Amino acid sequence: MQNIRIDATDRRILALLQTEPGINAAAIGEKIGLSQSAVWRRIAGLREQGVIRDQAAKIDREKVGLNTMVFAHVKLTSHGRSNLSAFSEAVQRYPEVLDCYVLLGNVDFLLRVVTEDIKAYEQFFFEKLSQLEGIQEVHSSIVLSETKHSSILPI
């Protein structure tokens, strides 16, 4: 991965975009001492370079009925490990899987899964996840409460 050169002004813009959802270029400009058009040019450049990927709304999962969050630790068989990309591609099809990480250590993948309830996770597990080829074992850790969740990077 290539690191993009960003200066202190870009960092201030990125910090405001992360912490104040919906802030516009004029308001950013007022806060950091740039014109609206200068802010727009910088934001456009950051988008072109792939620094800013998207601006999605943050939705409270519990308020929309997704009350259960599970971290699934997935270990593949030795045969399954030879094709990590097949597993990665397969979980892309499951909207229940919010995050998928390839790990170094005792397990091969860590999935963050959200469902309505434990019964829905059980159904996801038996009908989708455990049906994928090459899985040796899955250890599921159910989240009791969330003490910190952030997508804000320490820029």
- What's the rounded Cα separation, in Å, for the pair 106 and 123? 26
Q: Are 116 and 67 in contact (CB under 8 A)?
A: yes
Domains by residue range for the chain, with CATH: 8-48 (1.10.10.10), 62-142 (3.30.70.920)
What is the rounded average pLDDT of the residues 120-131?
97
pLDDT exceeds 90 at position 119? yes
Q: Cβ distance 97 to 91 under 8 Å?
A: yes
Burial class (CB in 10 A: 0-12, 13-18, 19+), 58: exposed
Long-range contacts at 6-14 (CB < 8 A, ≥ 24 apart): 6/46, 6/51, 9/34, 9/42, 10/42, 10/46, 10/51, 11/155, 13/39, 13/42, 13/43, 13/46, 14/46, 14/51, 14/52, 14/153, 14/155
| Furthest C-alpha separation in the chain | 57
What pLDDT, on a 0 to 100 scale, did the predictor assign at position 21?
Answer: 80
What average pLDDT does the segment 135-141 reach? 96
Binned at pLDDT 50, 70 and 90, residue 95 comes out as very high
- Which residue would you say has higher pLDDT here, 84 or 95? 95
Res. 151: pLDDT tops 90 = no
- Check whether 83 has a pLDDT greater than 90: no
Residue 110 belongs to what H/E stretch? strand 109-115
pLDDT value at 142 more than 90 = yes
Q: What is the pLDDT of residues 20-77, one digit of tens each?
A: 888 999 999 999 999 999 999 999 999 999 999 887 778 889 999 999 999 999 999 9
Q: Looking at the chain, how many residues does it have?
A: 155
Mean pLDDT of all residues in the chain? 93
Question: What's the CA gap between 44 and 155, in Å, rounded?
Answer: 18
Check residue 147 and give its pLDDT.
94
Contacts of 95 (CB under 8 A, 6+ apart): none
Banded pLDDT at 1 (limits 50, 70, 90): low
